[in-house]
Amino acid sequence: MGCIVHRICKLVESSAARRDGELQRFYHRKLIQKGLGKARVAVARKLGIRLWIMLRDQIAYHEFCRRGQMRQNHGNACAWMPETRFGANGHRPVD
């Protein structure tokens, strides 16, 4: 298991993370907030999620980024928790 985590952390430092401006900003923000180790893990997790979506939808990375830009431009992107059954805060109404 440690070998896989080590390889993922090396991938974080590879050219994929260095070429993507959004990932760079995210990494530097997490580096300041949480420190080196947690920043690497956070970016590795983000890359893993992106990879999973790309494999699921069978799309290339540039198409993934294009779709993300379309969502941001149309207001469909949500950086917060998704809407729940009881509203934005997710609490049940008090009877």
One-character DSSP codes across 19-40: H-HHHHHHHHHHHHHH-HHHHH
* Residue 61 covered by a domain: yes
What pLDDT, in 10s, does the model give residues 19-59? 888 888 998 999 999 999 898 888 889 888 988 888 999 98
pLDDT at 35: 92
68: which residues sit within 8 A by CB, 6+ positions away? 77
Q: State the residue range of the domain holding 62.
A: 2-74
* Residue 15 covered by a domain: yes
For residues 49 and 80, the answer to whether their CB atoms sit within 8 Å is no
Domain count, the chain: 1
* Residue 89 covered by a domain: no
* Residue 88 covered by a domain: no
pLDDT at 93: 56
Question: What is the C-alpha R_g of the chain?
Answer: 17
What pLDDT, in 10s, does the model give residues 79-94? 444 555 555 555 555 6
- What is the pLDDT confidence band of residue 67, given thresholds at 50, 70 and 90? confident
Would you report the helix, strand and coil content of the chain in percent, each value rounded to 5? 70, 0, 30
* Residue 70 covered by a domain: yes
Which value, to the nearest 10 degrees, does the dihedral of the CA atoms of residues 36, 8, 12, 77 take? -100
Distance (Å, rounded) from C-alpha 8 to C-alpha 82? 28
